[in-house]
């Protein structure tokens, strides 16, 4: 079989189960696009490469399978950087294929030449520059293997234009790569971990994205139920435990309810699984879980002891750990501890003012959640709206919540939602965004219209960079600067300009009925929700503070 490099890339992507790629073509990637035109691999034309990167991330986050974005050399590659870095911090299996100028031009400052390899070293799990067509046979399976093995992450494959046009004669395509096996767990570690769990009086689980990446929710629930251990989640762990599970105490950290952060102060054993003790979750790390021994399980050994020194750190796949330790765990519910947590939940609930007003943050989230199916995929952007959603949306399925946790990238939401809708055309997809964030990738409304994806954008429009405004109010003496948008932007008109249905809930008689109608209309829809700029997210741990020092959101502030 005689193939050129571009055809080989397409065939290898398909061999790895890829059916949709997102990207934007350019001079150096034209051979690749020529091969695409002759294949049945679906290409989604983004309107900015960052959009393409996040569309691919949306596919990967919603399915758990690696997804692919394409960029041309130079600005195509630099525009992808933010989405690649975002995938690195949130451990998302992304394969970014970038075109490069021809080999003999590399190093000459050729038109649209940039050192993509050098630029992406610190933001990828691994990266390659391919020097010959023969290398593609190994590099492409390796890229998928690395992106999906252990802790997932992004891989860049940079392919010079003349490698795309070079030809090769091969008998058969290489096999698709499989993820490497997780390291086996030492019997001694399991015994010690079980002993820690069995002797704890006040154990607490803290679960993170690693549970979702390992598809280990069911194993987790089994262990929680058997041992009656309460569990808190990080932002990226939300959905792994159904929101209404009696032992689930919600999201920990900077915007956690008091009843979530308080028990962590008191627990005597913290079992962290698939978490990296991010500062937004721990607050001041030295004061996080001050009375607890720590049992830390992670597939990435470099996480063990990075932030918190564990009594025992175990490098393991989360699901395998939970399954193999289960028989060693005694079932001995601590009524006292669980009763204490129930008391805290009653005394220090999450306070959600305005939950019956669709033009207030908790209200719009509540009504949307009630109207959407329980497995709707929910993407967010970054800001106050993201935190309100994390606090109040009743997540109950893994991979239901797509949000930029580590990098905190405004502009993530819309393209990620588009990617999720492309990968899961039968699911409802909603994107809660802020007016600042939506503007960062608003051009992807064109992609949404073109693909007619079933994405509803609920825009919590406070005419501000709300989270910045909130911090200036609380921690910078109300010296508001560069956080208000003075221009009067009509988002519904903009959406219509992109040929997308839109409604402004501030201008209708019955916002609840209009919301229901918009959510029930197939295809993309923008729902503008004017909200008061002074709405703040509470509780809040002041930056650098310990979680116990949360301010605001007291029960007696209930409105
Ligand atoms: C790309 C990027 N630039 C800047 C920031 C810093 N930042 C964090 S939240 C925020 C405000 C977000 O405003 P908006 O999207 O309107 O959401 P709101 O907080 O009002 O809900 C900013 C500027 C960021 N997270 N990402």
Task: Express each pLDDT in 272-305 by its tens digit.
Answer: 999 999 999 999 999 999 999 999 999 999 999 9
Measured from the Cα of 439, ligand 1's closest atom is: 15
* For range 134-153, the mean pLDDT: 98
CA of 84 to the centre of ligand 1 (A): 19
Mean pLDDT of 421-425: 98
Structural contact between residues 252 and 234, judged by C-beta atoms closer than 8 angstroms: yes
Peptide bond into 387 cis (omega under 30): no
Ligand 1 atom closest to the CA of 440, numbered from 1: 1
Backbone phi, psi, residue 4, to 5°: -95, 175
* Contact 183 CB / ligand 1 (< 6 Å): no
467, 469, 480, 538: residue to mutate for ligand 1 pocket, most atoms within 8 A of CB:
467
Residue 421 confidence class, pLDDT cut points 50, 70, 90: very high
For residue 82, give the ligand 1 atom closest to its CA.
1
Measured CA angle at 315 (ends 312, 317), to 5 deg: 125
Q: Which helix or strand (DSSP H or E) is residue 68 part of?
A: strand 67-71
Residues 139-165 have a mean pLDDT of: 98
Distance CA 229, CA 468 (A): 37
Residues 6+ apart with CB under 8 A from 522: 454
Q: Is 381 in the pocket of ligand 1 (CB under 6 A)?
A: yes
Whether 469 lines ligand 1, by a CB cut-off of 6 Å, is no
Output the pLDDT for position 321: 98
Is the shortest distance between the CB of 467 and ligand 1 below 6 Å?
yes
Ligand 1 centre to CA of 125 (Å) is: 26
DSSP-assigned states of every residue in 325-391:
HGGG------HHHHHHHHHHHHHSPPP-TTTT-TTSHHHHHHHHHHHS-TT-EEEE-SSHHHHHHHH
How much is the average pLDDT of 56-81? Answer: 99
Is the pLDDT at 558 greater than 60, yes or no?
Answer: no
Ligand 1 pocket residue status of 465, Cβ below 6 Å: yes
Compute the distance from residue 469 Cα to the ligand 1 centre, in Å: 10
CB 361 within 8 Å of CB 388: yes
Rounded CA separation 154/121 (Å): 11
- Ligand 1 centroid to Cα of residue 219, in Å, is 36
Nearest alpha carbon, ligand 1 atom 11: 465
- Going by alpha carbons, the residue nearest to atom 3 of ligand 1 is 410
Q: What is the mean pLDDT of residues 383-392?
A: 98
CB-neighbour burial class of residue 94 (10 A; exposed 0-12, middle 13-18, buried 19+): buried
Q: Is 454 touching ligand 1 by the criterion CB < 6 Å?
A: no
Query: What local confidence, expressed as pLDDT, does residue 132 receive?
Result: 98
Q: Mean pLDDT score of the chain, rounded to an integer? A: 97
> Which protein residue has the closest C-alpha to ligand 1 atom 13?
465
Q: Is 383 in the pocket of ligand 1 (CB under 6 A)?
A: yes
Task: Identify the pLDDT of residue 555.
Answer: 80
Per DSSP, the residues of 104-131 read GGTTTT-TT---HHHHHGGGSSEEEE--
Q: Give the confidence band of 41 by pLDDT, cuts at 50, 70, 90.
A: very high
Tens digits of per-residue pLDDT, 488-530? Answer: 999 999 999 999 999 999 999 999 999 999 999 999 999 999 9
Cβ–ligand 1 distance for 464 under 6 Å, the answer yes
pLDDT of residue 332: 79
pLDDT tens, residue by residue, 200-231: 999 999 999 999 999 999 999 999 999 999 99
Ligand 1 site-directed mutation target among 437, 471, 535, most atoms within 8 Å of CB: 437
**Interval between CA 35 and ligand 1 midpoint (Å):** 39
Residue nearest to atom 9 of ligand 1 (CA): 383
Mutation pick for ligand 1 pocket among 360, 383, 464, 528 (CB with most ligand atoms within 8 Å): 383
Residue 559 clears pLDDT 60, i.e. is over it: no
Distance 359 CA to ligand 1 centre (A): 20
What pLDDT is stored for residue 158 in this prediction? 99
Tokens for 376? Answer: 């709707």
Which atom of ligand 1 is nearest to 388's Cα?
Answer: 21
* Any ligand 1 atom below 6 A from CB of 394: no
**Residue closest by Cα to atom 8 of ligand 1:** 383
Residue 557 binned pLDDT confidence (cut-offs 50, 70, 90): low
């Amino acid at each position: 079989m005689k193939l050129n490099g571009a055809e080989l890339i397409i065939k290898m992507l398909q061999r790895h189960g890829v059916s949709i790629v997102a990207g934007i073509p350019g001079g150096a990637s034209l051979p690749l696009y020529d091969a695409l035109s002759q294949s049945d691999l679906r290409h989604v034309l983004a309107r900015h490469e960052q959009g393409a990167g996040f569309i691919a991330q949306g596919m990967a986050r919603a399915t758990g399978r690696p997804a692919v974005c394409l960029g041309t050399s130079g600005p195509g590659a630099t525009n992808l950087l933010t989405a690649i870095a975002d995938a690195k911090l949130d451990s998302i299996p992304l394969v970014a294929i970038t075109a490069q100028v021809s080999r003999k031009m590399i190093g000459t400052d050729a038109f649209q030449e940039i050192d993509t390899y050098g630029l992406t070293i610190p933001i990828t799990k691994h990266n390659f520059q391919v020097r010959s067509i023969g290398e593609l046979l190994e590099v492409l399976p390796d890229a998928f293997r690395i992106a999906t093995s252990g802790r997932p992450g992004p891989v860049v494959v940079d392919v010079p234009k003349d490698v795309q046009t070079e030809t090769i004669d091969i008998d058969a395509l290489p096999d698709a790569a499989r993820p490497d096996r997780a390291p086996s767990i030492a019997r001694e570690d399991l015994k010690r971990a079980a002993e820690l769990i069995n002797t704890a009086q006040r154990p607490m689980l803290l679960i993170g994205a690693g549970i979702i990446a390992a598809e280990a929710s069911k194993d987790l629930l089994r262990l929680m139920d058997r041992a009656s251990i309460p569990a808190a989640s990080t932002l990226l762990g939300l959905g792994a435990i159904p929101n209404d599970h009696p032992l689930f105490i919600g999201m920990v950290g900077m915007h956690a309810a008091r009843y979530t952060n308080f028990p962590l102060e008191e627990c005597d054993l913290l079992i962290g699984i698939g978490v990296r003790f991010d500062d937004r979750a721990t607050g001041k790390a030295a004061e996080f879980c001050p009375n607890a021994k720590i049992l830390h399980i992670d597939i990435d050994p470099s996480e063990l002891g990075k932030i918190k020194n564990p009594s025992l750190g175990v490098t393991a796949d989360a699901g395998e750990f939970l399954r193999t330790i289960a028989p060693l765990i005694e079932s001995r519910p601590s009524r006292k501890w669980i009763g204490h947590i129930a008391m805290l939940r009653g005394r220090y609930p999450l306070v959600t003012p305005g939950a019956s007003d669709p033009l207030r943050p908790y209200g719009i989230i509540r009504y949307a959640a009630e109207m959407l199916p329980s497995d709707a995929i929910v993407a967010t952007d970054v800001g106050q709206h993201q935190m309100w959603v994390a606090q109040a949306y009743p997540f109950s399925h893994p991979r239901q919540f797509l949000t930029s946790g580590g990098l905190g990238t405004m502009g993530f939401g819309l393209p990620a939602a588009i990617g999720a809708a492309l990968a899961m055309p039968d699911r409802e997809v909603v994107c809660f965004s802020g007016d600042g964030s939506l503007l960062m990738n608003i051009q992807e409304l064109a992609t949404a219209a073109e693909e007619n994806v079933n994405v509803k954008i609920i825009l919590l429009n406070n005419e501000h960079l709300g989270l910045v405004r909130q911090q200036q109010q609380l921690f910078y003496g109300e010296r508001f600067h560069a956080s208000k948008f003075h221009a009067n932007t009509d988002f519904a008109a903009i959406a219509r300009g992109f040929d997308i249905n839109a409604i402004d809930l501030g201008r209708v008689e019955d916002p609840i009925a209009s919301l229901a109608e918009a959510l029930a209309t197939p295809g993309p829809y923008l729902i503008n929700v004017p909200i008061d700029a002074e709405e703040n997210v509470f509780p809040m741990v002041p930056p650098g503070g310990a979680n116990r020092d949360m301010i605001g959101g007291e029960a007696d502030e209930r409105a």
